[in-house]
Structure 1
Amino acid sequence: MNDEEYSKIIEAGKIASQVKEEAIKLVKPGAKLYDVAEFVENRTRELGAGVGFPCNISLNDIAAHYSPSYGDNSVFSEEDVVKLDLGSHVDGFIADTAVTIDLSGKYSDLKKASEDALNTVIKEIMPEMNVGEMGKIIQEVIESYGYRPVSNLSGHVMHQYSLHSGVSIPNVSENTKDTIDVGDLVAIEPFATDGFGQVVDGKDVYIFKYLRSRPTRLPAARNLLRDIEQNHAYLPFSERDMAKIDKHYKTGLKGLMMAGVLYGYPTLVEREHGMVSQCEHTVLVTENGVEVTTK
C-alpha cells in the first residue's frame, strides 16, 4: 500500500463517520426511512466520496439489506430498533460502518452487546491473527450479555472496488486457517440477537450487484443496463437508483435478474424474529494492531 492509497482509505473513513453521526440525528419517530437513506447517500457525495453501497436501514428483526425503495413512505416508530449501515469510497477504497439506534429504549443491553463485542475484538487484533479467534472473542462478549451472536453473518476483508474479497470475519468461533495481515482493510460487524442466532432470506430485494453483460429484449432492462454498466459496475446499488433512470424500473430489474445480469440481495431476517443489534467499524491492519478508519 502506498501513501496515496492510504490517504484515500483514511478519507473514506472520515466521510463515512461524519455522515453516520449526522444521520443518527435524523433517525427519530415519524421520520421517513426514505429521507434518511437519501440524506446518507447525497451527503456522502457532497463530502467528496462515492457511495460504497446503498444505505441499509434495517428495523427490529431485519438484520440487513433493507434499503428504502422509491416511494417508500414507512416511518420510524417509538418501538423500533434501527440498524443504520452505510458506506463510502474514495477511488474504490471503501469504508463500511454501522450503528444501532434504540428508539424504544428497551434494548440498551442488546445494543451494548454488539458494541462491546466490536470494541473488544478491535483491541485484540494483531497481524496474522486467525479470524476464528476473532469470532471467538465476539461470541464470548455477546454471550456474556445473555444474547446470541448471529452465526451466519460476518465481517469481511475489502479490496479496491470490492466490498467482499474472500476472507470473512465470523461472529462465532470457527475452525479455520484464514488470517488477516498487515495492509488488510477489514469491516468487522458483530450482530447480537435475543432470537435463534441465525438469519434467513426474506422475500424482498432492494439491493443489487452487477454480474455480467447479457443481451435483453426489454427496453426498460436495456435502459437500466446502460446506466449500471457505466455507474454501478463494481459496487452494489439500490432499487432507488434505478427508479431515477426508467419508470418501468421494477420490470427492468426483474428482467435483468432473470437473465443472470444482476444478483439481488434479499433482506435478512432473524430466524425466530428476534430483535437484532449491529455495530461496525472498518479497520486497517498495521504492524502494531489496527487503525480504525471510521471513528
Structure 2
Amino acid sequence: MITLKSEREISQMKEAGDFLASIHIGLRDIIKSGIDMWDIEEYVRKRCKEENYLPLQIGVEGEIMDYPYATCCSLNNEVAHAFPRHKVLKDGDLIKVDMVLGKASSNIDVSKLDFNNVELMKKYTESFRGAIADSCWAYAVGDVSNQVKRLMDVTKESMYIGIEQARVGNRIGDIGAAIQEYVESKGYQVVRDLVGHGVGPTMHEKPDVPAYGIKGRGVRLREGMVLTIEPMVNTGTYKLKEDRKTGWGFSTLDGGLSCQYEHQFVITKDGPVILTSQGQEGTY
C-alpha cells in the first residue's frame, strides 16, 4: 500500500533528514586518507546516542544474518550494503556511506542502548514507526583519479535528474528513464537489482523507485508521497555479485568501480522538496 504523508509527518521527517544531513556534513571532515573505516561507524553511533536517534539498519532481517551495524560502508567496487570494518582508507578510494535513522520517542534513551546487541536493538528498530530519514553519500578519499571524479559527478547529477521528474502526474518510469538515459549517455550502467523506495511509516515502503525504466510506465506520482532516489552507477556491467558469507554486501561482477548517492524527498504540488538536503541542491 502507498501512503500519502500528512504535513505533520513530513515536518517530522524533515527534522530527521536535517539531522542525518548534519552527519554526512560531519563525515566530510572525518573521511580522509589514513583513517580506519570503522571510525565512520563510531561517529554515526556517537551522534545517534547524543541526539536520541535509532540507527534503524541494526537488526534488519537477512537470509543469513540480521544486519549488525548503523551504517553501510561500501568501498570502490562494492555497490551497497557492505559492512563497516577495520580497514585503513587510502588516497584514491571511493567510499559510499548509507544510513537510515529514526527519531526515538521520549520514553527511549538511545544513549543507554547497546548497539552491539543486535537482538536487543531489533526490538526497537523492527517496531519503529515514526520520523525516518534515509540518505547515502559518496566520499572521495584524498587525491582521487579523474575516473573517480567523473563517476561521482555523473552519479550525483543523475540523482538530481531523477528527482526533477518526481512531479505530480508523472509516473515512476519517468524517474528511472531519465536517470538511465543520462547515465548510459556517459558510458556507465545503472544497477537493476537494488532500487529506491517509499519511506514511512517504515524504512522500506511501496512503491519501488528504480534508477532505470520506461517513460510513461508505472505508478502515477501524487502529492504527499515520500520517496528515495538512489542511483547506483557502475563503470562496467550493472550486474552484481553477493557476499555469500553474510548475505548483505553487493559488489560489481566485473570488479569495476561503483558510486551511489541517495536523497529522500516529498512530492508537493510545486515539485519535489528534498528532506535530506546538506545545503545548496545540485551541490549537496
Q: TM-score range by the shorter chain?
A: 0.7 to 0.9
CA contact (8 A) 1:182 1:287 kept: yes
Among candidates 71, 81, 89, match of residue 55 of structure 1: 71
1:291 and 2:284 equivalent? no
Q: Deviations for 1:112-137, whole angstroms, at most 9, x for unmatched residues?
A: 11100011122232124211111011
Unaligned runs of 5+ in 2: 58-69, 105-129, 278-284
Among candidates 183, 205, 213, match of residue 173 of structure 1: 213
Unaligned runs of 5+ in 1: 206-264
Determine the C-alpha separation between the residues in 2 that align with 1:114 and 1:108.
10
1:200 and 2:241 equivalent? yes
Determine the C-alpha separation between the residues in 2 that align with 1:269 and 1:166.
25
Seq. identity, % = 24
The residue number in structure 2 matching 1:185 is 226
Determine the C-alpha separation between the residues in 1 that align with 2:169 and 2:56.
27
Taking the TM superposition and a 5 Å limit, the aligned residue runs for 1:102-121 are: 102-103=140-141, 104-106=143-145, 107-121=148-162
Look up the SS of the partner of 1:41 in the other structure: helix
Taking the TM superposition and a 5 Å limit, the aligned residue runs for 1:60-99 are: 60-68=76-84, 72-90=85-103, 92-99=130-137
Determine the C-alpha separation between the residues in 1 that align with 2:90 and 2:196.
29
Q: Structure 1 stretch 1-10 or stretch 25-34: which is displaced more?
A: 1-10
- Say which one has the larger Rg: 1
CA contact (8 A) 2:6 2:224 kept: no
Taking the TM superposition and a 5 Å limit, the aligned residue runs for 1:117-156 are: 117-156=158-197
Letter in 2 for 1:283: F
Q: Deviations for 1:131-184, whole angstroms, at most 9, x for unmatched residues?
A: 111101111121222211112221111121x22113111111248432332211
TM-fit CA distance, 1:26 = 0.9
Determine the C-alpha separation between the residues in 2 that align with 1:286 and 1:43.
30
How does the TM-score come out when normalised to structure 2? 0.76
The residue number in structure 2 matching 1:5 is 9
Determine the C-alpha separation between the residues in 1 that align with 2:158 and 2:6.
31
Look up the SS of the partner of 2:24 in the other structure: helix
RMSD (Å), alpha carbons:
1.8
Look up the SS of the partner of 2:134 in the other structure: strand
Determine the C-alpha separation between the residues in 1 that align with 2:169 and 2:92.
42
Determine the C-alpha separation between the residues in 2 that align with 1:136 and 1:60.
26
CA contact (8 A) 1:45 1:51 kept: no
How does the TM-score come out when normalised to structure 1? 0.74
Determine the C-alpha separation between the residues in 1 that align with 2:181 and 2:30.
33
Determine the C-alpha separation between the residues in 1 that align with 2:45 and 2:18.
15
Question: How many aligned positions are there?
Answer: 232
Taking the TM superposition and a 5 Å limit, the aligned residue runs for 1:36-47 are: 36-47=40-51
Structure 1 runs (4+) deviating above 6 angstroms are: none
Determine the C-alpha separation between the residues in 2 that align with 1:128 and 1:168.
17
Look up the SS of the partner of 2:248 in the other structure: strand
Look up the SS of the partner of 2:98 in the other structure: strand
